[in-house]
Amino acid sequence: KVYQQPDEPLILKDLVLACDISQKELADGVAAIVGRPISRPTINLCVNKGYIPTTIRGFKAAVEQVLQSDPLVEGWLQENKLSIAAIWQPSSHLETKQHHPSGLSRRTRHGVAAAKAHLNNLLGDPTSIEGDNKMLEMLHPEAMRKHRLFRHPFLNDVTCEKDIYMSDEHRYIESAMMDAARHCGFMAVIGEVQGGKSTIRKKVVENLLRDQNVTIIYPRNHKINMEGKAQSRISATSLCDAIIMDISGETPKIKTEQKVRQLESLLIKRANQNNKHVLIIEEAQNLTTVAFKYLKQFYELEDGFKKLLSIIILGQPELMDLLDERKHPELREVSQRIQVAEIRGLNGDLRNYLTFKFKRVGAKIEDIFDDSAFDVLSRRLASTDERGRKVSCAYPGLVNLYTVRAINYAHEMGFEKVTAEVVEAI
């Protein structure tokens, strides 16, 4: 038996709420005493469910030591006539619930909204989809050994086309991109960070390159600004240069007018040789208004009735706002000509996605996840929009992050599998 499980909140919960002690503060303090990392979900499960990990030697004593170093804790215990050992009893045993000693109430100082925000900080907001760090985390070596995972299921996980999970929505977007590429379309693919845009783009490019008469034009003229964000430097000049350099061995002319004439001549010549050209731009939400207008002009280049250039742009949700002519009437001519496809979350395919990913590394998802965990994970990775509609936020990158955390926390708490309680805690 590796944990004790009353499965109800402890008096410890009342104490930390009353004394404004966050779970992170408590976890950091305990970690310093026991000499090993303690995750916030471990504290969360302890406080809210009474799960006490017996695999962490000296856990209870360390918690008590951290709390006793806070004078507010001593005052709260005296006020409620409790000893420090009583914090491990179920919260229902506490007769009086005076959570906020005089002068400490955040509800008094900051109002209802601030109190709610603070409560979420202490207990962990169950509706939050934002992790502390969206970067992929590593699986604990012992957790990998336990589940016989010989490699990370999400690290360098796409090395060939067979490694790509395609939901019905992904297949639709792939087909739409292929159609736009082969029939001179103008298309925008919009999705969240780590939503799968680049993965689908790679698959589309791989398929297009099998057609020997297709040339991919891929401008790479970007820089990072002082805030660490990608900032597009794509201009009419750089677009012309990219097209000319990618479809020919010619040196781009100096003046913009000369460049445009040069690329038009090259496109017509190559189109008459039955060649197709596809311009693909990523991070398109960073494009300037001028760059968008030049894209529209390039899209309208024709030889008789035949268009010369297919254009596919990919970007984050900000791109959707840019293409809303009510908000950006200056881009009306662009938004009226461009087909938009939006990548949504995996919620309907969450279990199938994880089954696929773990199968690729020789593991069975049912050996790692309890059935109860999937519904909770779907709920955690969902939100509501401004109209109150449920929106899936189960994008592959975020699903991967939550899955790794859940496996690590389940191992830390001594669970055989990832359960609903573990997913609630992360």
Q: What is the mean pLDDT of residues 333-359?
A: 90
Grade residue 7 by pLDDT with cuts at 50, 70 and 90. Answer: low
Residue with tokens 């000509």: 337
Backbone angles phi, psi at 71, to 5 degrees: -60, -30
Number of residues assigned to the chain: 426
290 is written with which tokens? Answer: 């001028």
Please tell me whether residue 339 adopts helix, strand or coil conformation. Answer: strand
92: helix, strand or coil = helix
Taking the C-alpha atoms of residue 362 and residue 369, their distance in angstroms, rounded to an integer, is 15
Output the CA torsion 314→228→395→356 (10° steps). 100
pLDDT in the model for residue 184: 92
Query: Which positions ≥6 away from 249 have C-beta within 8 Å?
Result: none
Cα-Cα-Cα-Cα torsion 268, 274, 278, 279, nearest 10 degrees, comes to: -20
Q: What is the residue-averaged pLDDT of the chain?
A: 82
Closest CA to 168 of 412, 349, 371, 357: 349
pLDDT band at 100 (very low <50, low <70, confident <90, very high): very low
Cα distances from 150 to residues 141, 302, 410, in angstroms, run: 10, 54, 18
Q: Give 312-327 pLDDT, tens digit per residue.
A: 999 999 999 999 989 9
| Identity at 16, one-letter amino acid code | V
Whether 147 and 362 have beta carbons less than 8 Å apart is answered as no
pTM, two decimals, is 0.68
Instruction: Provide the pLDDT for residue 172.
Output: 92
Whole-number pLDDT of residue 407: 92
Do the bridges between strand 230-232 and strand 222-224 make them parallel or antiparallel, or are there none, so unpaired?
A: antiparallel
Residue 101 pLDDT greater than 70, yes or no = no
pLDDT digits (tens, 9 = 90+) for 13-22: 888 888 888 8
Non-local CB neighbours of 236 within 8 Å, separated by 6+ positions: 256, 260, 290, 291, 294
Say which range, 36-45, 77-86, 92-101, 148-157, has the weakest mean pLDDT.
Answer: 92-101
For the cut 60, the answer to whether the pLDDT of residue 247 exceeds it is: yes
Continuous segment of H or E residues that includes residue 23: helix 23-34
Instruction: Please say whether the dihedral angle defined by the alpha carbons of residues 164, 169, 174 and 177, taken in this order, is positive or negative.
Output: negative
Domains and CATH numbers, the chain: 1-125 (no CATH), 131-159+346-426 (1.10.8.60), 168-342 (3.40.50.300)
pLDDT of amino acid 340: 94
